[in-house]
Amino acid sequence: MRSVFLAACLGLAGCQASNLGDGLSASNSGVAALGNSTYGNGPVQVTMLLPTDASLRRKAADISDGAKLALDDLGAGQLRIDFQASASTSGQAASKVQAASAAGSKLIIGPATNGEVSRIISGTSLPRPPILALVPNNSAGGTHIWPLYGDAIDSALEGVGVAVAAKQKNIVVVHEAGFPAENLLRLREGIKLKGGTTIGFVPYPASGINLRAAFAKGQLVFAKANTIVLLGGGDAIGEVIDILAAGEFGQSIATAIATSLIPEEIYKRPSAQGLMVAVPSTTDVSVIAERFKAKYGRAPSYDAAIGYDSIAIAAGLVRSAGPDAITVENLTSSQGFRAATGLFRFRPDGRIERRMIVHRIENGSLKIIQEEGEGF
């Protein structure tokens, strides 16, 4: 299966929503909980599991609206979406997957929390439709289940690739204490695949208390590194950057990589100038922006683009190879997909691999130093 470009009606007006997770941070006030419904009347059913939790209602609404727009644009009368809504604490995820499978759904999109994904893993078995979960890469994977969102590790590894290409291969990872061990392992493995070497890990307290003491314990590690990866986006990250930029620790470090976790206000700090940051491409969201705003009265968030892409994947496969084309083999094509959220592919190990645009912080804003690229 060739790489699929899932864009429609090119040449539209520019996008208003450019940040990863716009929908996650948007206000949920006044957003009604979704109910069960069906959209479209095509023969190929796709089931979408969306949350009714108050804190997730904006995300659910954006994903739902993006999915409907994709069906309008690309469905060609072949698809219908069965929206199933429930609270993420209801414990209904596994039973809804079983019901969708029994009803003949070809693809399940959702759920939106890691807890529900875990319940599906423990409460269902194959055969069942492939699942594209509305969660980031750091979720525990299951057989034929893939996340749709990238995460900070993906962001870090894109920056690592640039550093390694510049011969800055000896890498120290500075992270919040308690950062998930499985993600640190994934980062180490990714660094190795990129051609780098992980010299060591230096944890720091998320509270920001006694940061210098925490870094002092990593002096020997810092001394052997020429690249540093900074994991974290909490309250302490600004002070962490200030201390490390001062040169008291890691005098041999020439390259510093932050991640998509750091807040944009950090970009203005003098100490942050020169940091590399990789974020997902949102250039292609412009393809849907004008029509989305005309239909729903607001600009599309990143979550809306995720909803659009989830249906665009199904539509692209069905249109190119028929109603039974939504298979694990086709979903895990090594060439991947290009859509409103950029270039990505689903790996056989249950992860999503998203190409990102690598930037350097200069004068308080992001300057592109490496584009997303044309393929994997």
User: CATH no. for residue 54?
Assistant: 3.40.50.2300
pLDDT the model gives residue 25: 40
Domain count across the chain: 2
Bridge-partner residues for 204, per DSSP? 176
Residues 306 and 203 in one domain: no
Identify whether the C-beta of residue 346 lies closer than 8 Å to the C-beta of residue 339.
no
Residues 365 and 238 in one domain: yes
Residues 245 and 136 in one domain: no
Q: From the first residue on, what is the mean pLDDT of each consecutive set of 10 residues in the chain (376 residues)?
A: 34 28 49 93 97 96 97 95 96 95 97 94 94 85 90 93 95 93 92 96 92 93 94 89 87 90 91 92 83 95 95 95 95 91 90 91 93 70
Residues 24 and 57 in one domain: yes
How many CB atoms sit inside 10 A of residue 296's CB?
16
Its domain, for residue 48, covers 4-149+282-353
Residues 287 and 261 in one domain: no
Helix boundaries (H) for 80-236: 93-102, 114-123, 152-165, 181-193, 211-216, 219-224
pLDDT the model gives residue 140: 59
Residue 344 lies in a domain: yes
Residues 112 and 180 in one domain: no
Residue 376 lies in a domain: no
pLDDT the model gives residue 375: 62
Residues 366 and 220 in one domain: yes
Residue 226 lies in a domain: yes
Residues 304 and 263 in one domain: no
Output DSSP code: residue 218.
Answer: T
In whole angstroms, give the CA distance from residue 7 to residue 308.
10
Residues 239 and 182 in one domain: yes
> Which H or E run contains 176?
strand 170-176
Residues 184 and 199 in one domain: yes
In whole angstroms, give the CA distance from residue 104 to residue 166.
51
Residue 132 lies in a domain: yes
The region, left, alpha or beta by phi > 0 then psi within -120 to 50, assigned to residue 357 is: beta
Radius of gyration of the chain (CA): 21
Residues 310 and 364 in one domain: no
Q: What pTM does this model have?
A: 0.83
Residues 143 and 22 in one domain: yes
pLDDT the model gives residue 8: 30
Residue 375 lies in a domain: no
